[in-house]
Structure 1
Amino acid sequence: MKQEILESYITYIFDFFQKSRCFKAGQGNMLRNFRFAAEKQFTRNQLGILYFLVNTLIDNGYLYLKDRDFIALTENGADVINGGECVIPKISLERTIYEKETSRSDIYEQLWNIIGSNKENDYAPLYVDGPLFYKRSSIN
């Protein structure tokens, strides 16, 4: 895992809340404002990683979505903003990339974007060496 990459994305996410003057639990901003700001700064692949980590922070209780278009801080998220430490969130790959309608090749591609390198993005937040990934993969 490239912890410094994860930390830089997480820092960006919490900086967005600080710049929006959100310091308390329940305070937040419209999700579209977050996306608009991120699209100015990140490539398409980087945006995928950023959104993946936003979902992971939601899953880990640092953020929550209200009415599907408002993203807000929880108590844990507010603690991070106010000087607390953010624990690197636990990532549920199965929950993140698997849906009943998703084909095995699509799951494989999504997983590779999270843990491997590709042409447009020479790093990944959870890097795993390519030969090891292919050797352990049961998808052909």
Structure 2
Amino acid sequence: MISVFTRIVRGEIPAFKLYEDDLTLSFLDINPAARGHALVIAKPELPGLLDLPPELVSAVALTTQRVARAIVEALKPDGFNVIQNNGAAAGQVVFHYHVHIIPRWEGDRLVKLWRSGTMSMDDLRAVADEILAHI
């Protein structure tokens, strides 16, 4: 099934485009968490970060920075979140790689993304060793 984002790339669905090049497209989210909430997508329909070749990861990162800078200059938020979800358990709804840029203002009442926890140094070392075995 073709994703809604591929349909936007093809021009089949309208979007308020902010930036476009050969590999990426940025447009406003139609269900924004905040004023100026934008998406940056990879034009090829690939589901997640681990599916992208390095040059596409770089292209999306550069477009994300360009659009975030424009949002900050235009809307003057106090900060912004850059969020990228991989898999349903992480909150991904459209399985076409995309990054959210969400402007934030003091007192905007948007939820924090997580509550910080604690781990012992031994537990942290064990997790680090598990991950390092695969790098």
Q: Does TM-score exceed 0.5, indicating one fold?
A: no
- RCO higher in 1 or 2 (8 Å CA, sep ≥ 6)? 1
Larger Rg: 2
More strand by percentage: 2
* Structure that is richer in helix per residue: 1
TM-score after normalising by structure 2: 0.30
